[in-house]
Amino acid sequence: MIDPDQRIAAIRAAFPPEGLFADKDWLLSPEPFLVSAKLGEQLTKLGHRLNLFNRACNELYQRSISGKQPAWIADYLDRGKPPELVEYSRRKQFRADLPRVIRPDVILTEDGFTIAELDTVPGGIGLTAWLNATYASFGTHDVLGGAGGMVEGFRAIVGGQAEILVSKEAATYRPEMQYLSRMAGDGAMHVHEAESYIPNFELRTPISLYRFFEHFDLPNIPSVPAIMQAVAEGTARITPPFKPYLEEKLWFALFWMRPLREYWRRELSEQHFLELQKVIPYTWILDPQSLPQHAVIPGLEIQSFEELKHFSQKQRELILKISGFHETAWGSRSVVLGSDASQQEWQAAITEALAEFPAHPYILQRFHKGRLVDQRFLNAAGQIETMHGRVRLCPYYFVIDGKAELRGALATVCPPDKKLLHGMKDAIMVPTAVSAV
């Protein structure tokens, strides 16, 4: 049995030469984050449900633009986006294209878990691949996805050879993608700075591209028009697809809208619809349009989102964030937790959100506090101690032959005073494994 200090030494020795996150550190732990067999099974099943959800989202948008569903659905999803990008995303040859990586942000709660949001351009793929391989080598725990599951899954979705395009905006994650590329072996993958990438589509056809940049960043990448043309002509394929509507957070609000309830029931099946209701937090789109005098906003029982400004701190167990297509829409940059904000800060945030609606819709979401967990880690003094913190799990599902397969899950354990759970220097990051107990 390897003692904790030996494991920490082995973990440090295993760090790849290219690093993983540029200029980012985290706390090391001698063991993975352990979940029950029941939770492990739930996480495995979640991938299938989220894949069905993505398909249903894509289909709902298509029906909205064709007149088979209300036009206001596509109107919400297309707000603020360049008309040429909207037109491109609607082309028939891309109709069935979906993201091949699905990563929910799962918060463990006292009652189970909730999904804060879905990410189809996620960081952490290379990091989780390295964590799985490193901790699996100890031979004491079965990490979710297996030692090589992340690398194998990524190779399966991009094909035998691929070009990975990482923007300057996402430069923090370039080292982990370089590690992933090296682990794929045989020169199968090449990592490029997206802004300086010069494609050669005559080299091989079709060329496989992995997009590690957001849609709002497209004007900063000179080769994007050529890439889009090649994808349209079939001489290149890209994942995630150029479909900005699929990357909006307001899908969770559409999921809860009563006029669409029967659509979701039919497309997902009754069982999967009810199961997703348990884990998708109630969400609203901050649309400032007026309601009839007899109407109220469901779940808030107010007639106007302006009334949110007068909510007490206890009533403000709510998350406010921009829906998408904006530089603040990722990495928790636009997130405001109502109960943590002062009355003045909250009022200013609501005012801004309502004013931005025509171009950048915001969403409001019920906040579910994470339950406390224990995880050992190496402190600054070089000693092993236990953090009593809150955890975010990021399971990675790779859609292979139409099926979502769980290939790994990154656990981020944060200090208990942190309400927004994400990677930070005082957080522990480890792979997830199923407890043998």
Neighbours of 131 (CB within 10 A): 25
Mean pLDDT score across all residues of the chain: 92
Under DSSP, is residue 310 helix (H, G, I), strand (E, B) or coil? helix
Q: Which residue has the higher pLDDT, 338 or 266?
A: 266
Is pLDDT at 176 greater than 60 in this prediction? yes
Q: Which residue has the higher pLDDT, 24 or 380?
A: 380
* pLDDT the model gives residue 417: 80
pLDDT band at residue 326 under the 50/70/90 scheme: low
* pLDDT the model gives residue 204: 64
State pLDDT tens for residues 191-236.
999 999 988 777 667 889 999 999 988 999 999 999 999 999 988 9
Q: What is the CA radius of gyration of the chain?
A: 22
* pLDDT the model gives residue 410: 97
State pLDDT tens for residues 366-414.
999 999 999 999 998 999 999 999 999 999 999 999 999 999 999 999 9
Cβ 313 vs Cβ 339: under 8 Å: yes
DSSP 88-151: HHT-GGGTT---SEEEEEEEEETTEEEEEEEESS-S-HHHHHHHHHHHHTTSS--BTT-TTHHH
Residue of 119, 127, 148, 155 whose CA lies nearest to 22: 127
* pLDDT the model gives residue 392: 95
Strand-strand pairing, 362-366 and 318-322: antiparallel
* pLDDT the model gives residue 352: 94
Which of 14-18, 32-36, 169-173, 287-291 reaches the highest mean pLDDT? 32-36
Give the integer Cα–Cα distance in Å for 56 and 378. Answer: 44
Q: Which two tokens stand for residue 246?
A: 């699929």
* pLDDT the model gives residue 335: 87
State pLDDT tens for residues 110-131.
999 999 999 989 999 999 999 9
* pLDDT the model gives residue 275: 97
> Which amino acid makes up residue 385?
E
* pLDDT the model gives residue 324: 82
Mean pLDDT of 104-110: 95
Rounded (10°) angle between helices 4-14 and 125-136 = 130
CA-to-CA separations, 288 to 302, 359, 381, 409, in angstroms, rounded: 12, 13, 52, 38
Is pLDDT at 291 greater than 60 in this prediction? yes
Give the integer Cα–Cα distance in Å for 238 and 230. Answer: 10
* pLDDT the model gives residue 328: 56
DSSP β-bridge partners for residue 193: 166
